[in-house]
Amino acid sequence: MILDQEKITRIKRLLKVRPKGLTISDISYNLKINRNSVAKYLEILLITGQVEMKMYGNAKVYYLSHRVPISSMLRFANELILVLDEDMNVVEANENFFSYFPAKKEDLIGNPISTSPINTADDFHIEDLARDAIESGEISREISMIQGNGTKYLHVKVVPSVFDNGTKGTTFIFEDITEKKEAEQALLVKNFALASSLNGIGIADLSGNITYVNASFLQMFGYDDENEVLGKPIHIFAHEHDTKIPIILDAVRDQGGWSGEAVGWKRDGSQFHAIITASMVRDSSGIPICQMTSVLDITELKSHKEELQLKDTAMASLISPIAIFNRESNLIYANDSFLTEFELTEGEIKGKQPRDLFMQFVSLAPPYEEIEARLKDEGKWNGELRITSRDGRQQYFVASFHRAVDDRGNLMSTLASFVNITELKSIETALKSAKQNLSETIEFMPDPTFIINRDHQVIAWNRALELMTGVKREEVIGKEDLEEVFSFFQKERPILVNILDIPPHELARKYPNVKRYGDSIFVEAFIPSMNDGNGAYLWGKASSLVDNEGNIIGAIESIRDISAWKRARESLRKVDAGETSPRSAIPDIY
């Protein structure tokens, strides 16, 4: 039979558009070719591996083969190619294969793959993949193998093949994807760092619409779910009268970034103080691709600063130092704050392990072994660190260590973040000392005295006042309402600290006996219920307490029993008026 290449081409074209296959009769009918000729042509195509046939009942259905002839596969230049016959013997391998795998050509070609050390990689055998491909068709998967001191990742495709003599086998095509895999892992690590950062991270497109927010960002602004903000304009995070957001956006657009302190507005309208760093993110060509904002909530620190009368602290110290370690616990990233805080350079710490970094200090409390043990057991550690440097300085940090794992539970990275609280520790110590000195001073004052803070809560109550009221210090500390404690006043005089902020004209109208001099008010009143019903004259004074900036932070009130003085003064008056003799003018002292 003389082959007609044109008819063979027509048959292959028809099968290409009918991927589910056709019978001999179908092909004969569609192409108007003699049925016997079609059968002969299909037999040739079947032998050469260009078509395949499956039985459906008594019908033979032919379709184009997805197997690749081995002669074509070996022309691929970049991949690593290995060819096995149906008995699992190595038929061929290209030069790239031998330059990558630790095998010699003379030891591999013609021998069973099962005897080669390259047969096993990770948790599978090459021969098993070959059998699977022969049974079920082309397969693809990723494998890993230890090579030298590192792990290599490969993508392998196994293709059923037909040789020039018509026999069958399998062709393995390997592609090294190690760099791609490591890039993916680095991206996962950075995504984890963003998601778990103590800072609120928000990303917007060039139009100013939100495309990403982390959990800290949502919490700071009072939102429960990212879907409540995604796609919304940045302006939803600003108050209607807030002028800061437009300034920040203009700076990012015109200057490439903005950093400073600002007031943030929660969803419910409440405020918080924050350090905001906003910048334009550009690609390698300098073209803007998005806007990124980092928000650090400093409300609590601002509160401490007000109460302890702190001066402004450096904003740079509020940015959290962050370090990331890979699965082998080698440092792969440290931000500028970390390098500055611990006086290190990137070159000297790159690749170091946490214990190596802490060895530069004289001591670490708790020891890193304890932190490491907790990380292994629970995957995280949060607490306070005390670090003693070689020059004897002690520093305190609130530290957080978190381990990130993949879907299989394998360690991917460890994130460490720090907040320096050394200055806060010193202030707390100084404040405790100041409070102790103040308490001791008030305690031994002869006049009954008490102090309230800005929230009208009692913070000091001396011994003399305990004797006057019969109320112990521990019974009133922290209380705001003192009406019951001073119930013996019986409306003869008010509690002065409660009326300090009343305007002068209203004070004169409501409490005519109370006089104001500067920031203090005074009162003198006779209290009938005191001294077992004999009464007593009480003099009182209350003054506001202010900080260095003139802000009211509390008040103090002192009370003095002037009954003896009043009696003496009255007796002297009577002597001067001739109403009694000097001897009888001696007052009763009680």
At 116-142, the pLDDT tens digits run: 877 766 666 888 889 888 888 888 888
Residue type, 219: Q
Does the structure show a pLDDT above 50 at 224? yes
Mean pLDDT of 168-174: 88
Q: Which residue has the tokens 């611990």?
A: 342
Of residues 235 and 86, more confidence is placed in 86
Domain ranges, ordered by start, for the chain: 5-64, 70-176, 199-315, 320-426, 444-568
Label residue 66 by pLDDT band (50, 70, 90).
Answer: low
Predicted local distance difference test score (pLDDT) of residue 381: 92
pLDDT at 72: 54
The answer to whether domain 320-426 has CATH 3.40.50.150 is no
Residue 318 has pLDDT above 50, yes or no: no
The HSE-up count of residue 525 (CA atoms within 13 Å, CB side) is 23
CATH superfamily of 444-568: PAS domain (3.30.450.20)
Among the residue ranges 153-157, 302-306, 550-554, the one predicted with the least confidence is 302-306
Do 199-315 and 5-64 have the same topology in CATH?
no
Distances (CA, A) of 131 to 77, 166, 242, 268: 26, 18, 69, 64
With cut-offs at 50, 70 and 90, classify the pLDDT of residue 448.
Answer: very high
Asked whether the predicted pLDDT for residue 362 surpasses 90, the reply is no
* pLDDT over 70, % of the chain: 86
Confidence of residue 317 (pLDDT cuts 50, 70, 90): very low
Q: What is the mean pLDDT of residues 233-238?
A: 80
Q: Give percent above pLDDT 90 in the chain.
A: 7
Question: What is the model's pLDDT at position 579?
Answer: 62
As a 3-state breakdown, the chain gives helix, strand, coil percent values, each rounded to 5, of 35, 30, 35
With a cut of 50, say whether residue 586 has pLDDT above it. Answer: no
CATH of domain 70-176: 3.30.450.20
234, 242 Cβ separation under 8 angstroms: no
Nearest CA to 252 out of 232, 277, 234, 235 is that of 277
Average pLDDT over residues 8-18: 88
CA atoms within 13 A of residue 332's CA, in its CB half-sphere: 19
8 A C-beta contact, residue 275 and residue 296: yes
Look at residue 209 and give its three-state secondary structure. strand
pLDDT at 584: 44
| In CATH, 199-315 is 3.40.47.10 | no
Q: What is the pLDDT of residue 312?
A: 30
- Residue 408 has a pLDDT of 84
What is the pLDDT at residue 153?
85
Topology, domain 5-64: Arc Repressor Mutant, subunit A (1.10.10)
Q: Is the pLDDT of residue 3 over 60?
A: no
**Whether the predicted pLDDT of 315 surpasses 60:** no
DSSP 109-122: TTSBGGGSGGGEET
Residue 120: which residues within 8 A CB-CB, separation 6 or more? Answer: 126
Q: Which residue has the higher pLDDT, 186 or 464?
A: 464
pLDDT at 240: 67
**pLDDT, averaged across the chain:** 82
Region 390-406: mean pLDDT is 87
- Residue 22: the pLDDT is 92
452 pLDDT above the threshold of 60: yes
The model's pTM is 0.33
Rounded mean pLDDT, 63-76: 61
Q: Which residue in 119, 125, 120 sits closest to 107, CA to CA?
A: 119
- pLDDT tens per residue across span 238-281: 776 667 777 888 888 888 888 888 888 888 888 888 888 888 88
Q: What is the DSSP string of 526-563?
A: EETTTTTTT-EEEEEEEEEEE-TTS-EEEEEEEEEE-H
Give Cα separations from 583 to 9, 204, 571, 586, 587 (angstroms).
Answer: 146, 93, 10, 6, 10
* Region 517-540 average pLDDT: 88
